[in-house]
Amino acid sequence: MRHSGTSANRLAIVIALLALLAVGARGDLPRASRPNFLLILTDDHGCGDVSAYHGSDVQTPHIDRLAREGMLFTAMRANATVCSPSRAALLTGHYADRVGVPGVIRTDPKDSWGFLAPGVPTLADELKKAGYHTGIIGKWHLGLESPNTPKERGFDHFEGFLGDMMDSYTTHRRHGMNYMRRNAEVIDPDGHATDLFSDWAVDHLRQRARTKEQPFFLYLAYNAPHFPIEPPPEELARVQQRSPGLDAKRARNVALVEHLDSGIGRVLAALKDLGLEQDTVVVFTADNGGSLPHAQSNGPWRGGKQDHYDGGLRVPFLVRWPGHIRPGSRSDLAGLSFDLFPTFLELAGATPGSALDAVSLRSELEDVRRAEVRDLYFVRREGGKAYGGKSYEALIRGEWKLLQNDPFSPLELYHLADDPQEKNNLALARPQVFHSLAAALRQHIQRGGAWPWQPPGHRSR
């Protein structure tokens, strides 16, 4: 009888294993095998201000740790050179003008150049359907009112800032208005915004640690180091003591970035202390390059925020997943930030929609096979005298890059392999390449034109 029971047990084990293999083949992974996701997004943060990329006067040991323990991408770009379009693409897996956000969504409707399309699923929506708890801490910048508040766009919990930028990191106002919220509640907390967002993220992780049976997605979107460059006084004093010859404007930015890095360090430490580190995919990246007038660094690339030169688009991009991503690995894949959308869904056992513009990075993370090379498209619409409410675009195809850096300048063409600094404009010298890329760019612009980028009733305002 004992022998019969043992055979039955073995048979049960084999059946269970076969069932798990069948489930895995369907892509519907059991909940216990699904990772958590912590997506850390900083604001106006170029590669030159992350010391994992090269020697720098700024020190970011906690961010650098993600590079040592995971994969550092050397050729990733943000989806746009300014905030709202980049975030809209990141959270939808579509190019920003295909979800109604070609430009910055601002608190003043007369100077707002986007409206996130209702009904388009967000990453939070899709992960929530897959059984995840979804939270956002920090900067939203995709709408101030219904239907485009975080709770209406897939997030179970929101604690942060609805608007575009703060006039001060300590008063948290924008044009005298308070956009700080806990879900729908108006709040008025004390403290530096970076510290608040870090502390709230740690608290959120503590709450999720109590319900480990449900995986989570936490989108931690700092507003640092976006201007105003306002580090805590003690941080600035420390940097000035360490580097007394540093330019005053640069010293303030270094101090603000290092204060940000310290906050990220507290969040990563909490992840480890709470026993969540091994089961969590951590991604660090930024919404666009740094602002040159504010002494931010995008080295070695040309230009900065607002530019379609690579200084405005190339961003730090680090991914860590213990036991799954080889520590200290590097990738030169030329992808876009919104590629995280299908990547997270695949790792969660869900199936990304076929209509996405984004491409999964899963094979790259697993060192199996890189994603196929495809055209990379960029757009920004802006008002004011310098832009006139018009848009300007860029397209990358392999080593070629076609760009317009403002709506009134001619298109420029660069061969990035030979000219990574984008100094030698080949628009006249290579007409066949120019016209081929220009035709592809026009098709992208036409597709974006199908989506309204102002809310209903805007003309009546």
End-to-end CA distance of the chain: 83
- State the Cα–Cα distance between residues 29 and 438, nearest whole angstrom: 43
Residue among 117, 118, 163 at smallest CA distance from 138: 163
Selecting among 133, 141, 226, 308, the annotated active-site residue is 141
- State the Cα–Cα distance between residues 249 and 46, nearest whole angstrom: 16
Question: Exposed e or buried b for every residue in 87-102, given b needs 16+ CB within 10 A?
Answer: bbbbbbbbbbbbbbbb
Left if phi > 0, otherwise alpha if psi is -120 to 50, otherwise beta: which for 100? left
Q: What type of residue is 121? A: P
Active site residue 141: yes
Residue with tokens 């600094």: 421
How do 216-221 and 185-186 pair as beta strands?
unpaired
Tell me the three state secondary structure of residue 394: strand
Inter-residue contact 360 to 424 (CB < 8 Å):
no
Q: What is the DSSP string of 72-130?
A: EESS-B-SSSSHHHHHHHHHHSS-GGGTT-SB---SSGGG----PPTTPPPHHHHHHHT
Selecting among 45, 62, 83, 192, the annotated active-site residue is 83
Q: Which residues contact 261 (CB under 8 A, 6 or more apart)?
A: 59, 60, 61, 62, 63
Q: Is 274 exposed, middle or buried (0-12, 13-18, 19+ CB in 10 A)?
A: middle
Active site residue 83: yes
Q: Which residues contact 428 (CB under 8 A, 6 or more apart)?
A: none
- State the Cα–Cα distance between residues 389 and 295, nearest whole angstrom: 27
- State the Cα–Cα distance between residues 343 and 361, nearest whole angstrom: 5
Q: Which residues pair with 138 in a beta bridge?
A: 160, 221
Q: Which residues contact 306 (CB under 8 A, 6 or more apart)?
A: 81, 82, 312, 380, 382
CA separation (Å) from 416 to 88, 113, 310, 334, 370?
A: 27, 30, 10, 12, 20
Q: Which residues pair with 381 in a beta bridge?
A: 103, 391
Q: What type of residue is 374? A: R
Answer positive or negative: Cα dihedral of 180, 134, 196, 230: negative
Instruction: Supply the residues annotated as catalytic.
Output: 83, 141
